[in-house]
Amino acid sequence: MSRRLRQIPLDLLERETGLSRHTGVRARRGQPLQRTSLQLRKLAQRALRIFEKVLGERHPNTIVCRSNYHSIEEKVRAVEHLG
């Protein structure tokens, strides 16, 4: 997941989601996120919508973003299951 997150520009994640830069960096490193940091799901949804709108659904970056979103969804579900 962290490798895929590195492909989404940190500025875009920060700007579009309102998450702190620190949270984005921790997610990219694969470090644990605090429960409040699980806004990452919203971040992924917004980033995907932006990529689809600006680049189109079949653009390679959009495909990567979509893959990131699904990966994040899996991680969030796992954390929610543990919590």
- Confidence at residue 69, expressed as pLDDT on a 0 to 100 scale: 84
The pLDDT score that the predictor gives to residue 33 is: 67
- Two tokens at 22? 């620190």
- The structure's pTM equals 0.51
Averaged pLDDT score across all residues of the chain:
76
Position 83 confidence tier, pLDDT thresholds 50, 70, 90:
very low
Q: Where are the domains of the chain?
A: 2-82
Cα–Cα distance measured from residue 29 to residue 71, given in angstroms and rounded to the nearest whole number: 15
For the stretch 53-67, pLDDT in tens is: 888 899 888 898 888
Q: Please give the Cα distance from 38 to 75 (Å, whole number).
A: 10
Listed residue (18, 12, 23) closest to 54, CA to CA = 12
pLDDT at 36: 57
